[in-house]
Amino acid sequence: MKYAYYPGCSAESTARDMNLSTLAVAKSLGIELQEPPGWTCCGATAAHQTDRQLAVSLAAANLVKVRDMKLDMLVNCAACYNRMKAANHEVTNHAELRAALDQDYDGSVKVRHLIEVLLEDVGLPAIKQSFKRSLNGLKVACYYGCLLVRPPGVMKFDDAENPQSLDRLVTAMGGQSLDWPGKVECCGGGLSLSRTDVVVNLSESILDMAEQAGADCVVVSCPMCQINLDLRQADMAKKYQMPVVYLTQLLGLCLGYSAGELGFEKLMVPATNVLGKVQ
Amino acid sequence: MITIKKNKSGPGLKRAIKELCGVDLSVCFQCKKCSSGCAVAKLTKTRPSEVMRRLHLGAGAELLESDLIWTCASCGTCSARCPMGIDVAAVMDALRQLAIAKGVPAPAGNVPLFNRAFLKTVEKFGRTYELGMVAAYKLGTGKLMADTEKFPTMLKKGKLALLPPRGADTKTVKRIFAKTKGGKA
């Protein structure tokens, strides 16, 4: 199993822990990753809010690089995953957007999220066989956020209102995936600095739902969700102390890696309760 | 009651929006599912269904002053749930672009400045450079102290890179910015 791995800009800064743990998990499960040479920013929210063609062209520049590698693109950042799939959709359906690209591209590169690769290509039985430890009944609120599942017609990732793929992985790890209403709510995304008030408000409602469901931690697969839910707890009236960990960090623990190898010390709210439970 | 000030921007915004994002607003029948699901509607004066109705009725540039445009987090719940398949989130993108083009300031926060600071680092380095972006944004807002208490911990934890990113194909990115409206944003 070989893929062109698009790390995304956060992998080099705010989400180094996501990148570290992604590489560790891939190594253990026989997933070979190769970065597209000179990969560039997907454009994120700022590009599509500014200009439609800019957004499509920035993402497509990376898809062109992956097309030339003759591999599927594997993405773990939900935001990058979303922009890549949106660009494929735009160039396939709008000739004028395709015509104005920097290099011609037909929208044919398959963009896969790590969760899809884990469930569809590696498969739960093989993943379970590789586990050395269990989450031991850890109560996990699986938080998908917006960008993995919306817009459903473009993303075609799981059920857009009640997705189950993260829950299936958590259950396979021996965790208890909770039934809770916050799965696909919005954390405020890219408004973290420009409208901190909005992010604090939305993220607080999500943490509140997770706490009410009895969660030991929230699991995410998006660097923006992670930083909003984790870093912004310091700005909230109520002190939740709710660890917000990446899926790949939990998988890495079960695959036998140490907390240090998975970047656990980079979390703002320490995941001491999670680390204590995993055996 | 909705009062519409017509013709403040010529024939209304509906056509400009159709041109920018290709969305046909005329099929909206005001079921208000977009407003019910909207993550930020609890924080705004204007709701998505009201924006749709105003556009329908021929609203002009005054709609670009709506607080919803710059509070919307682009979560896409409105588009996902619209029974008529209207991409409401794309309409929000188009309204933001029109507001920038006409120089209408955001009523709260400073999302346009943030987006410019973000895209400037991408244009320069090919990838996001958070420290550079934060510095440009803070200088622009004048709120130098916001969040500074978090930076030492983030730096210590390696959550903020000190140096700009390296190794990106900056040539391609610069060409894309020069060819699109990104370079003029």
Same domain assignment for residues B17 and B93: yes
The per-residue pLDDT for A201 is 98
Q: List, for residues A27-61, the tens digit of each pLDDT value.
A: 999 999 999 999 999 999 999 999 999 999 999 99
Dig out the tokens for B11 from the structure: 């024939």
Same domain, B93 and B138: no
Please, are residues B173 and A58 in contact by the beta-carbon 8 Å criterion? yes
Instruction: Closest CB to B130: pick one of A14, A37, A197.
Output: A14
Which residue of chain A comes nearest to B19, CA vs CA? Answer: A52
Domain A131-277 top-level CATH class: alpha beta
Q: What is the pLDDT of residue B109?
A: 87
Verify that B24 and B61 share a domain, yes or no.
yes
Binning pLDDT at 50, 70 and 90, where does residue B5 land? low
Q: How many CA atoms lie within 13 A of A173 on its CB side?
A: 29
A interface mutation test: which of B42, B147, B180 has the most A CBs within 10 A? B180
Domain count, chain B: 2
Residue B8 placed within a domain: no
Residue of A nearest to B161 (CA): A13
> What is the distance between the alpha carbons of residues A187 and B77, in angstroms, rounded to a whole number?
12
For β-strands A73-75 and A139-142, DSSP reports them as: unpaired
Domain ends where: B44, B67, B101?
B101
Q: Is residue B3 part of a domain?
A: no
Please check whether residues B97 and B129 belong to one and the same domain: no
Whether residue B166 is found in the same domain as residue B136: yes
User: Buried b vs exposed e over B125-140: b needs ≥16 C-beta within 10 Å?
Assistant: bbbbbbbbbbebbbee
State pLDDT tens for residues A74-90.
999 999 999 999 999 99
pLDDT, tens digit (0-9, with 9 covering 90-100), for A115-161: 999 999 999 999 999 999 999 999 999 999 999 999 999 999 999 99
Same domain, B17 and B96: yes
> Radius of gyration over alpha carbons of chain A, in Å?
18
Q: Are B116 and B180 in a shared domain?
A: yes
Closest alpha carbon to A215 in A255, A254, A167: A167
Q: Is there a domain that residue B2 lies in? A: no
Domain range holding B147?
Answer: 111-184
B135 touches A: beta carbon within 8 Å = no
Residue at a domain's end among B82, B101, B120: B101
ipTM value of the model? Answer: 0.95
Task: Give me chain A's average pLDDT, please.
Answer: 97
From residue B127, alpha-carbon distances to A39, A225, B106, B175 in Å are 8, 20, 26, 14
Cβ of A77 under 8 Å from any chain B Cβ?
no
Neighbour tally for B154: CB within 10 Å: 19
Kindly state whether residue B124 falls inside one of the protein's structural domains. Answer: yes
